[in-house]
Amino acid sequence: MKRLQLLARAALLFPATAYAADQPGSGMAVNLFKVLLGLLAVLAMMAVSAWMLKRFGIAKAAGGSTIKIVGGVSVGNRERILVVEVADQWIVVGVAPGRVNSLATMPRQEQAELPAMASTENNFSTWLKRTIDKRNAK
């Protein structure tokens, strides 16, 4: 009788538990579902937080990085030359697998904004189109 009263009180307070007590083995399935749902919720919150940090640049503002890559060129399969700006100075560095060497330093230069393909003569797509037209004309 006491057990029946405890089950009735538990059913009022925790209806899912009472249902699970009636169904053998289903309590574990309900608990597993709750755990998986909670895990998915936490992963979704982490993904949204990471997206917001990236989107709004909060990570950059918090870091306060004083180093900026100005430009670079590849000189081999795995080798590059980079121009890095630190404070008011540019440092030219050579980067290879497992090694970074300072090649030169210079005062910061003013960068002229390069027009986006102002000359169509040097444009690859224009050159390719002309080449294809020449081959088709023959």
Measure CA of the first residue to CA of the last residue in the chain; give whole Å.
Answer: 101
For the stretch 56-79, pLDDT in tens is 876 555 555 688 888 888 888 989
Same domain for 53 and 70: no
Residue with tokens 């980079």: 82
This prediction has a pTM of 0.39
Characterize the bridge pairing of strands 80-86 and 89-96: antiparallel
> Within a 13 Å sphere around the CA of 91, how many CA atoms are in the beta-carbon half?
12
Same domain for 37 and 8: yes
Structure tokens at 41: 């919720």
Domain presence at residue 132: no
Same domain for 42 and 10: yes
Same domain for 72 and 54: no
* Residues 38/32, Cβ–Cβ less than 8 Å: no
Same domain for 51 and 94: no
Same domain for 70 and 35: no
Domain presence at residue 115: no
Helical residues (DSSP H) of 57-102, grouped into ranges: 58-63
Quote the number of domains for the chain: 2
Q: Look up the domain containing 25 and give its range.
A: 2-58
Domain presence at residue 128: no
Same domain for 46 and 13: yes
Domain presence at residue 98: yes
Same domain for 83 and 39: no
What parts of the chain have a pLDDT lower than 70? 1, 3-4, 6-8, 10-26, 58-65, 111-122, 138
* Dihedral over Cα of 74, 82, 99, 60: its sign: negative
